[in-house]
């Protein structure tokens, strides 16, 4: 166990969002479904968990100081293209689901902690 403040990085990829947290002396647990070679090595002070965020229980993050979430944006981005084929697609269901899963994880963490845990969430 460590007394360093914990950041949970959902859809962590190459840990780009949480790098500043690490540089300030915090620790990071990152979650993603894979880790590609172009992501580079897992940064020092971070742990990578290969797990689908849809299977996470947010209560396990009751000790987190911050939750970051940057869910995949490909479905949203493609639909914003000016092509007729892109405009004809239905709603980006997976993208919406993953965005909502991050909010669920935060709610569960807050409930377990008994206090607010901030989350920064972005998508296109």
* Burial (CB count within 10 angstroms: exposed 0-12, middle 13-18, buried 19+), residue 17: buried
Mean per-residue pLDDT over the chain, rounded: 87
At 120, list the tokens.
């920064």
Give which of 7, 5, 34, 16 is closest to 70, Cα–Cα: 16
Give which of 30, 38, 27, 35 is closest to 11, Cα–Cα: 30
Residue 25 has a pLDDT of: 96
Q: Which residues, including other chains, have CB under 8 Å from residue 74's CB and lie 6 or more apart?
A: 95
How far is CA 119 from each of CA 13, 64, 88, 91, rounded to the nearest angstrom?
Answer: 17, 10, 33, 25
Question: Of the ranges 9-18, 42-51, 74-83, 93-102, which one carries the lowest mean pLDDT score?
Answer: 74-83
Average pLDDT on 60-73 reads 92
């Amino acid at each position: 166990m460590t007394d360093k403040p914990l950041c949970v990085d959902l859809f962590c990829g190459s840990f780009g969002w949480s790098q500043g947290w690490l540089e300030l002396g915090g620790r990071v647990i990152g979650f993603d479904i894979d880790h590609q070679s172009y992501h580079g090595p897992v940064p020092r002070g971070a742990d990578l968990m290969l797990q689908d965020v849809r299977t996470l229980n947010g209560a396990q993050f009751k000790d987190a100081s911050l939750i970051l979430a940057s869910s995949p944006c490909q479905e949203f981005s493609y639909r914003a293209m000016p092509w007729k084929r892109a405009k004809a697609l239905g709603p980006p269901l997976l993208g919406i689901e993953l965005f909502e899963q991050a909010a669920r994880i935060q709610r569960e963490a807050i409930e377990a902690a008994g206090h607010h845990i901030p989350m920064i969430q972005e998508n296109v």
